[in-house]
Chain A
């Protein structure tokens, strides 16, 4: 155990105080039908806080900053989601938050030893392959959802953390360049190019082009690390070439995008408020209506609009809690992502992984917030930890676990399997 007990207590108190202040705000200004609802919500939140404070100590970590930030954000999210349209504990979201916390520890345990993980590369590729096959076979007609009873699962969300791992594991291979004709190439790079192309095709097939920028962001972060390896500097020529190729690819993609994508790209939300601009226009009106300080928890009107709890959740929070608080929440996620800048990852592998995770978090937040506020086309992806949605919460939890692993890696060689002759 590396944790300083004084810092640990201060952090616990900070998290508890933040959540208590929010709950007090719900009680004083919220749309509460009965005090019981607030008490149930408060009990659930504080209980989860305490449980996590104890559980996190069971793991041997150098830093617990991400653990504290994670519980801070997740319970904020529980409070938000429980207040939309009136205060009552959102049990479903509460459970997904717990699952997300568990996923974070699973991610931590699996990713803390990079040498071991490097050896499991083939399983990462296999897992992605299996998920793709599942999407192709088990989801509905050209859809991305698997319906099991009342639960909907989005398998493509799980591909995201695996894709981060695939990009990270490829870095070490960059030293093994082979000469083919007069070119020095790395075989694994071709595997990655193939993988991203397969993902692109799959997303197109599923009509889920909204997630594509996230995959491209993860791929780009890995690509930029890879192309310069092992030289510890960026090559301007390579960067410019990559930038130009990317630009051309984007132009071609926009030119040949499907009709429904073209419509979204050119949508005038204010002239088509009852059509393609329905969610964005309502989201912007709600943010304006909430102003800096909001209308009070549960007093918003955006919960009557479709996907208020995930696709346009930033606006829903802004309306009820105010734009300032919504920005604070987003800033907290930014702090979570910024931890590797303050406390650098201990290995090159983990550094590459954190770059991929950062790309995931930033791209998801950008697509959600900027899309719902009409800065870019509306895609309908989720904000990590804030939006409701089990698959996304698990994927985000796994990613947070990867960040934890980069902070507290296990630096020892994996057991060597001796071959018997």
Chain B
């Protein structure tokens, strides 16, 4: 009998194993059913709304909207047609699905994504560009809510993709998510690294002369935008003047070791030399961080990289996030998010965003010092153009296409607890029109209502 019982044990084991895996499978199917449906042509999508309840995407296709109503968010919100994949809708189809395992697909379901975007502000910024191109992004550095995120050229997804081959380059992507040459806005990263290595007192004690150009120890020349030179300057003056020779001499300083600079840059999120590019994920949307080449501090390429040209590339989102670490005074970035909350087919809230912070990328002391430096720069140079806001800013001019064109950048933050906004604005080929980053910043800050 014992032998027969042993056979029964084996049968029991087989059956138990099967039932256990069947239970896992059932739970898996139940949990992932929405995802399966979102990969089929059976899905019925819901809506995407802005922070004020305005429509940003209509999955039902039944609504009527005026011409180009969605153009300012077209390449960020996207659609489900498969032409744009790194967009909010494409990456969150399962959340938008008007489907539940119990009731199946429902035409008038209440599945929706409520974003943090302000459609009015976004549209105002989009219009401020006129016929020029570029991108602008702004978020609440206390909560991480992205308020403005527009990129030009763009498209109105309701018009479809007829004539896609004639679309302008960059139409189908939000440029905020992809690396660009940062220009002198990069000097903030260099100041942060120098402060972390040397300390505030030592860095502020450094004075270098600018005669309009500087020849480094390898014999290469770094030019300043001011041909007549800035004379003797400390770090505050050099930052405000955006003086290239000062920063080249700072990098060559014997107290700054290249390995220490590399370490600090990596901490900020740069992929240095052969490192793999790192990404931030914002509600499923993949966003590049930054990269640069730092080999020898006496080498032109390395110095040029620390000034914001050469191999250095940073995404506008990353530039904006560094501003949050400065503005918060903590040295920790506020992680941005686009989705505030999500409702399912029945209208029940299934997920709600929470504010998250990065790990420490620099010390609070450094954050405090850089914050004060940027605020001084804002007060001294931007009170007229962007008046009415306690601003910390740094501008930049990036040479692109082998110096044929110049992009204009402006990064900064508002030091006001009632309007805690960090931003990054970029205008491509700044000489192609009359829009300026200051005008766009002003439009942006005026139109954002918190």
Q: Do A and B bind each other?
A: yes
Chain A interface residues toward B at CB < 8 A: 217, 221, 224-225, 228-230, 232-234, 270, 273, 281, 284-285, 287-289, 291-292, 295, 323, 327, 330, 334, 337-338, 340-341, 344-345, 347-348, 351-352, 354-355, 358-359, 362, 365-366, 369-370, 373, 375
| Chain B nearest Cβ from A29, distance in angstroms | 14
Q: How far is the CA of A273 from the CA of B35 in the complex (A)?
A: 14
Q: Is the interface of B mostly helix, strand, loop or mixed?
A: helix
Complex interface: stretch among B11-19, B203-211, B259-267: B11-19
For A287, the chain B residues whose CB sits under 8 A away are 29, 33, 36
Interface segment among B1-9, B163-171, B237-245: the answer is B1-9
| Set B15, B22, B37: member contacting A285, Cβ < 8 A | B37
B101 interfacial contact with A, CB 8 Å: yes
Does B103 lie within 8 Å of A291, measured CB to CB? yes
Take A270-B39, A288-B37, A334-B15 as given contacts and tell me if A355 and B26 are in contact as well, using a CB distance cutoff of 8 Å. Answer: no
CB pair A341 B37 closer than 8 Å: no
Identify the closest chain B residue to A353 (Cβ): B7
- Name 21 A/B residue pairs within 8 A (Cβ), A-sorted: A217-B14, A225-B7, A281-B39, A284-B32, A284-B36, A285-B37, A285-B39, A288-B99, A291-B33, A291-B101, A291-B104, A323-B29, A330-B22, A337-B14, A340-B11, A344-B4, A348-B3, A348-B7, A352-B7, A369-B25, A375-B24
Q: Verify A292–B101 contact, CB threshold 8 A.
A: yes
**Bound form: Cα–Cα A366–B20 in Å:** 11
Question: Is A355 touching B7 in the complex (CB atoms < 8 A)?
Answer: yes
* A345 with B101: CB separation less than 8 A: no
User: Which of B2, B5, B36, B105 has the most C-beta atoms of chain A within 10 angstroms of its own C-beta?
Assistant: B36
Q: Given the complex of chains A and B, what is the CA–CA distance between A381 and B26 in angstroms?
A: 20
Complex interface residues of chain B between 254 and 300 (CB less than 8 A to chain A):
none
Q: Which residues of A contact B29 (CB under 8 A)?
A: 284, 287-288, 323, 373
On whether the beta carbons of A234 and B6 are closer than 8 Å, the reply is yes
Contacting pair A355 B36 (CB below 8 A): no
Beyond known contacts A287-B36, A344-B5: 20 more, CB 8 A cutoff:
A217-B14, A221-B14, A225-B6, A229-B3, A288-B32, A288-B36, A288-B99, A289-B40, A289-B104, A289-B105, A327-B26, A334-B15, A340-B11, A345-B4, A351-B8, A354-B11, A355-B11, A359-B10, A369-B25, A375-B21
**Complex: how many Å from CA A334 to CA B15?**
7
- Determine whether the beta carbon of B3 is less than 8 Å from that of A351: yes
> Which residues of chain B have C-beta atoms less than 8 A from A281's C-beta?
36, 39
Q: Which of B3, B22, B34, B37 contacts A327 (CB 8 A)?
A: B22
Q: With A285-B40, A289-B37, A291-B103 as known contacts, state yes or no: A373 contacts B10, CB within 8 Å.
A: no
> Known contacts being A270-B39, A323-B29, A373-B29, is A232 close to B2, with CB within 8 Å?
yes
Q: Is B42 located at the chain interface by the 8 A CB criterion?
A: yes
Residue of A nearest to B100 (CB): A291
In the complex, A285 Cα to B105 Cα: how many Å? Answer: 12
Please, which residue of chain B has its CB at the minimum distance from the CB of A375?
B25
CB-CB under 8 A from B39, the residues of chain A are 270, 273, 281, 285
Total CB contacts across the A-B interface at under 8 A: 117
Residue of B nearest to A292 (CB): B102
Q: Who on chain B is nearest to A333 by CB? A: B18
Most buried by A among B12, B21, B33, B105: B33
Q: Does A288 contact B33, Cβ atoms closer than 8 Å?
A: yes
B37–A370 touching, CB < 8 Å: no
Q: Are B6 and A358 closer than 8 Å at their CB atoms? A: no
**Alpha-carbon separation in the docked complex, A281 to B7 (Å):** 38
Residues of B within 8 A of A289 (CB): 37, 40, 42, 104-105
B359 at interface (Cβ–Cβ under 8 A)? no
Bound together, the chains give a CA A344 to CA B7 distance in angstroms of: 10
* Contact between B22 and A288, CB atoms less than 8 A apart: no
Taking a contact as CB atoms under 8 Å apart, the answer to whether B6 and A345 are in contact is no
For A314, the closest partner residue in chain B by CB is B25
A373–B39 Cα distance when bound, in Å, is 15
**A residues in contact with B99, CB < 8 Å:** 288
Question: Is the Cβ of B42 less than 8 Å from the Cβ of A285?
Answer: yes
Say yes or no: is B28 at the interface (Cβ < 8 Å to chain A): yes
What mask results when residues 408 to 435 of chain B are scored 1 for a CB within 8 Å of chain A, else 0? 0000000000000000000000000000
Which of A225, A234, A351 has the most chain B CB within a 10 Å cutoff? Answer: A351
Bound-state CA distance A341–B8 (Å) is: 6
| Among candidates A273, A291, A337, A370, residue contacting B15 with C-beta atoms closer than 8 Å | A337
Q: How far is the CA of A358 from the CA of B9 in the complex (A)?
A: 11
Once the chains are docked, how many angstroms separate the CA of A230 from the CA of B6?
11
Q: Which residues of A contact B103 (CB under 8 A)?
A: 291
A359 is contacted by which of B8, B14, B102 (Cβ under 8 Å)? B14
CB B263 to nearest CB in A, in angstroms, measures 37
Q: What is the CA–CA distance of A228 and B39 in the complex, to the nearest angstrom? A: 51
Most chain A CB within a 10 A radius of its CB, from B4, B36, B99, B105: B4
In chain B, what residue has the closest Cβ to A337? B15
Contact with A along B94-111 (1 / 0, CB 8 A): 000001011111000000
Closest 9 CB pairs of A and B: A232-B2, A351-B7, A288-B33, A288-B36, A351-B4, A285-B40, A358-B11, A362-B14, A355-B7
* A270, B37: Cα distance in complex, Å: 12
- Docked pose: A323 CA to B32 CA in angstroms: 14
Residues on B with C-beta less than 8 A from A352 are 7
Q: A327-B26, A337-B11 are in contact. Are A362 and B17 (CB under 8 A)?
A: yes
